[in-house]
Structure 1
Amino acid sequence: MFDCGMYMGYLDHRRYPDFSLISKSNDFNNALSYIIITHFHMDHIGALPYFTEVCGYDGPVYMMYPTKALAPLMLEDYLRVMVDQRGEEEQFTSENIVQCMKKVIAVDLKQTVQVDKDLQIRAYHAGHVLGAVMICAKVEDVAIVYTGDYNMTPDRHLGAAQIDRLRLDLVIIESTYARTVRDSKYAREREFLKAIHKLVASEGNVLIPTFALGRAQELYILLDDY
């Protein structure tokens, strides 16, 4: 299974995938052998402690080293904000997060991992956020790529996604902004900096909300360059 996230539009169990589609009898360990996580955002890891510690999946979970470091911080922050402060229905606990992370096997970028005699995986830089990867999975002579979230526009601290030339049988690709037409990166940065310059010049204060971890660093570097 690639990624195990939650949908942030609900405040109850509907946030999670319908895991019954994997196993009608809830015997997930016979139905599923591995979980591979592409990055630490909640729509990709938010259901992971629930699936491993509440539903009972006990197999390995593969992710990159930065994702392993940041995932528990994201999950704990979710509990603090959504459960403790906003009263959302609790689906997993801090102890569940600790036990879940014990199942994690961390891998390096472009490290070829022979998961078992049939399955081989290799992670490629996806841009997006620190540790985000696209996964190439091979079973015998069949190869697929699952992109997760990726970014083809070079930025100041991560750079654009990179992947080898591959002969593939299937690509599973994210399409979050597929129908969105944006101004150029240069134009957006120019308008952002003009607005800040105008406020600071008039001795105003600037507050910049960044809704997802990994965005603030790019803004810091942009402002420092300016």
Structure 2
Amino acid sequence: MTIDCLVLGAGQDVGKSCVVVTINGKRIMFDCGMHMGHDDHRRYPDFSLISESGDFDNALSCIIITHFHLDHIGALPYFTEVCGYNGPIYMTYPTKALAPLMLEDYRRVLVDRRGEKEQFSSENITDCMKKVTAVDLKQTVLVDRDLQIRAYYAGHIDL
């Protein structure tokens, strides 16, 4: 069995967490973050490394978001609503509850306060979150017949 790990962000830096792990023919993206210190192409992961054609639905089995910090979720509305990913996305209930608040707050800071070009809209955030399946801790979710996932408390965030 071979495990392939494609680091799209946070490899040698804090921010833009995004890792694609391939195991037994399944490609799972862990996190879809942004780097808040950049305002150019370095802000988001280089998604073309997943699929040059942009067919992300067939290139990925699913996305798993580990928690709601922007360096782990900040690029998700961009990836789903601008790049067009429509496949499965999983995160815990607390992450799903807090993610849209974090994303909207950051969008407002970028656009309204700093005057930057909008990367994704409030509607994009809402539409993105509609695609998310929330998971309970220790709940087993069958992604497909060959892939199941289970969420555990990592201790990174205290709620």
**What TM bracket, shorter-length normalisation?**
0.7 to 0.9
2:62 maps to: 34
1:139-150 matches, within 5 Å, as none
Q: Distance in 2 between matches of 1:71 and 1:41?
A: 8
Corresponding position of 1:116: 144
Q: In the alignment, what sits opposite 1:9? A: 37
Task: Please list the CA deviations of residues 20-45 of structure 1 after superposition, one character each: whole Å capped at 9, or x if unmatched.
Answer: 00001111111112111000000000
The answer to whether 1:86 aligns with 2:114 is yes
C-alpha deviations, 1:91-116, integer Å up to 9, x for none?
A: 11001001001100001011111211
Counterpart of 2:131 in structure 1 is: 103
Retained in 2: the 8 A contact 1:64–1:106?
yes
Question: Which residue type is aligned with residue 43 of structure 2?
Answer: R
Q: SS of 2:68's equivalent? A: coil
Residues paired across the two proteins, number:
131
Query: Comparing both structures, which one devotes a greater share of its residues to strand?
Result: 2
Q: Does the 8 A contact of 1:11 with 1:89 survive in 2?
A: no
Q: 1: CA distance between counterparts of 2:31 and 2:67?
A: 8
Deviations 1:27-64 (A, max 9, x none): 11111121110000000000000000000001121000
In structure 1, runs of 5+ residues without a counterpart are: 130-157, 159-213, 215-226
After the TM superposition, which parts of structure 1 deviate over 3 Å for at least 4 consecutive aligned residues?
none
Contact 1:12/1:89 (<8 A) preserved? no
State the superposition RMSD in angstroms.
1.2
SS in 1 for 2:150: strand
Aligned mate of 1:48, from 59, 71, 76: 76
- Percent sequence identity is 81
Q: Distance in 2 between matches of 1:124 and 1:28?
A: 27
3-state SS of paired residue (2:137): coil
**Counterpart mapping for 1:17-32 below 5 A:** 17-32=45-60
User: What is the CA distance between 1:123 and its match in structure 2?
Assistant: 1.1
Q: Which amino acid aligns with 2:129?
A: M
The residue type equivalent to 1:62 in the other structure is Y
TM-score (norm 1): 0.56
* Paired residue secondary structure (1:115): strand
